[in-house]
Amino acid sequence: MQLTIKLLLCSLLRRSLPVLAILLLMCVPALAQQPEAPASPENGISVSTGELNVTVNSGDGDAASIFKIIALFTLLTLAPTMILMVTPFTRVIIVLSLLRNALGTQQSPPNQVLVGLAVVISAFIMMPRLAVMNDTVIKPYSADEITLDQAMAMGTGQLQDFMYPNTRTSHKLLFAKLARLDMDGIRLDAPENSRALPLHALLPAYIISELTTAFQLGFVIYLPFLVVDMVVASILMSMGMMMLPPVLISLPFKLLMFIMANGWAAIIEGLVSSYYVPPG
């Protein structure tokens, strides 16, 4: 067996020798040419392979650019959450969720429908302010008429103009006090003073105000449906039907009442009219 393997190896080696010789002769000219050493940039590394030339510098300017890129990606990650916080989305989605709970329909409409409706209504409420931002911030920045810092400052100012009049004065006073801001002589209930309160104090005040208003609207929405539940439960108890769930009987009546009152239009109209959108 070992003799057979040795004979096979010798045969393969004998046949492959011409091919190895040809490959060696082809590689000799390439080995004889010495490639030029790439120029090393100052404070950096340069790697060259054929037509590809990659240079990595380690200067202070490049380090600052890397940090700017990281900050930009972090901002893009947090942007959806921040956008939802500075728009009417919080109030709208809470009111719609409380409405669904008051109807007792559990998962109808589903969460995706409620979120989509909240986004559409929020965009509808913000449309005048978004149009102003498009004309004064986005278009000039796209045309290189203003810098990025100027665009961010102007965009933040436009958001402040929207949030300030829609925030309760008590909440603005609370966060101004917590931030130790001197607000003497400034009327926090006047829309023209929208730039008086810094963004880091206005943003939490706006969110707390949105939550408070949303729960107040939810309480008003709950009352008529609660009356229907109580009436149905009283009728069932008087008839001795203790084992029959009142929710099962009251649900069709609540749906009928909501439809006859044109409930969706009334809820959306109340949400939209609860906001003050200052003119541009």
- For the question of whether the overall pTM of this predicted structure is more than 0.85, the answer is no
CB 162 within 8 A of CB 132: no
- Dump pLDDT digits (tens) for 98-137: 999 998 887 888 999 999 999 999 999 989 888 888 888 8
Predicted local distance difference test score (pLDDT) of residue 243? 76
- Report the mean per-residue pLDDT for the chain: 77
- Dump pLDDT digits (tens) for 164-197: 889 998 999 899 888 888 777 677 777 677 778 8
Taking 50 as the threshold, does the pLDDT of residue 31 lie above it? no
Give the model's confidence band at 152: pLDDT under 50 very low, under 70 low, under 90 confident, else very high: confident
Q: How far apart are CA 214 and CA 233, in angstroms?
A: 28
Give the model's confidence band at 16: pLDDT under 50 very low, under 70 low, under 90 confident, else very high: low
Please state, for a pLDDT cut of 70, what percent of the chain lies above it.
Answer: 74
- Dump pLDDT digits (tens) for 240-277: 777 777 778 888 888 988 899 888 999 999 999 988 77
**Token pair in block for residue 51:** 């037509």
What single-letter DSSP state applies at residue 137? Answer: I
- Dump pLDDT digits (tens) for 59-80: 555 666 777 677 777 777 877 7
Backbone angles phi, psi at 95, to 5 degrees: -65, -40
Residue type, 255: L
CB 94 within 8 A of CB 214: yes
